[in-house]
Structure 1
Amino acid sequence: MQESKEHQEPPLDHVARIQAAWRRERPDLDVGPQAVIGRLHRIATLLTRELCVVYQRYGLSEGEFDVLAALRRAGAPFERAPGELAAHTMVTTGAMTKRIDRLERSGLVTRRRGDGDGRGRVVALTVPGRELIDRAFTDHMHNEQRLLGTMPPARADELEGLLTAWLARLEDPGGDASDVGR
């Protein structure tokens, strides 16, 4: 006799299959944490793939989008020092230099000497850079709304609360969270 559709167990997802294999191979270990951490990692990977589709539509990598977004969030005159940009995007200064070089070649940012002692540099959005990030960010938000729209609003609110509380416990309390939500 076949079970009705509403009483059938959902098929095992990728993480559940991995857990089942580990339970078989290492019954001495509690693989329960994989249920949450493994799924969060898998969701992050899938979401990144979906988010990058929008960035690529504008000729940007994920990192370049982050740099332009950090400059745009700075407010007028839309500029930051390279070290500050690195902190706002959580990348090394070497990686930041490569991103800035490419964005500068594309005419989306400029570099100039800082107003202080003249040794420092400042990176600023150009008008085309600001126009591009404004369009790209609008599409990015529509894409995030589409992705989150796959779950009921009450569940999304519940998930936001759970993730906020967990992040507060894991994050460095003195850290800069200015890049959250890009």
Structure 2
Amino acid sequence: MEDEVDRLVAAWRRERPDLDVGPLEVLSRVSRLARHLDRARRQAFSEHSLEPWEFDVLTALRRAGAPYQLSPGQLLTQTLVTSGTMTNRIDRLAKKGLVERLPDPNDRRGVLVRLTEEGRDRADSSLAELLEQERAILAELSPAQQAELANLLRQLTAPFDNVSG
């Protein structure tokens, strides 16, 4: 079975035999797969009237468990955006009725962001749709191959995830 990356690599080997283009065989496929995954994610979220960033915030709150609330700082850590961006996102989600701000009982100046019932329903339904899309992407691989691929990708991504800053 040949794919577009095989053709790309063959062309570079022909045109630039002086270069080791081996990394393209893996990383070009990862890049192409990321684009397909991005399309699948956007489709899954749009069916539930969510943007990808909205899904990220809602599911961070959902994963927190009952009562489905976090401080804005905790949301920052989980979504990797600036505090100004997070404030804007919380405002927009609150306007849509998907989250609410509550006073933090442990900090008089602090607030907590809590999922509303509608926010929880949207997080749950869009996650189910996303997982259906992702299962379709992985359908050509056996469960053992999926586990092997997950382990290999973990080895590649862990150093990036463990970099502070």
Normalising by the residue count of structure 1, what TM-score does the alignment of the two structures yield?
Answer: 0.79
Q: Distance in 2 between matches of 1:24 and 1:93?
A: 49
Q: Distance in 2 between matches of 1:26 and 1:86?
A: 44
For 1:114, the equivalent position in structure 2 comes to 104
For 1:72, the equivalent position in structure 2 comes to 62
For 1:84, the equivalent position in structure 2 comes to 74
Which one of the candidate residues 94, 101, 106 is aligned to 1:104?
Answer: 94
For 1:4, the equivalent position in structure 2 comes to none
| Equivalenced residues, count | 165
For 1:124, the equivalent position in structure 2 comes to 114
For structure 2, the residue ranges without an aligned partner over 5 or more in a row are none
Residue 136 (structure 1) aligned with residue 126 (structure 2): yes
For 1:178, the equivalent position in structure 2 comes to none
Root-mean-square deviation over aligned CA pairs: 2.2
For 1:7, the equivalent position in structure 2 comes to none
Residue 154 (structure 1) aligned with residue 144 (structure 2): yes
Identity of aligned residues (%): 45
**What amino acid is aligned across from residue 97 of structure 1 in structure 2?**
T
Deviation by residue 1:22-72 (Cα, 9 ceiling, x = unmatched): 334443321211111111111011111112101011111111101000000
Deviation by residue 1:106-132 (Cα, 9 ceiling, x = unmatched): 100011232233222211101111122
Normalising by the residue count of structure 2, what TM-score does the alignment of the two structures yield?
Answer: 0.86
Q: Distance in 1 between matches of 2:50 and 2:104?
A: 26
Q: Distance in 2 between matches of 1:33 and 1:126?
A: 46
Deviation by residue 1:46-101 (Cα, 9 ceiling, x = unmatched): 11111210101111111110100000000111011112112112222222222222
C-alpha spacing 1:22/1:110, structure 2 compared with 1 (3 Å): same
Q: Distance in 2 between matches of 1:155 and 1:74?
A: 30
For 2:153, the equivalent position in structure 1 comes to 163
For structure 1, the residue ranges without an aligned partner over 5 or more in a row are 1-9, 176-182
For 1:180, the equivalent position in structure 2 comes to none
**What amino acid is aligned across from residue 73 of structure 2 in structure 1?**
G
Which one of the candidate residues 1, 14, 25 is aligned to 2:4?
Answer: 14
Q: Distance in 1 between matches of 2:152 and 2:65?
A: 31
Q: CA deviation at 1:149?
A: 1.8
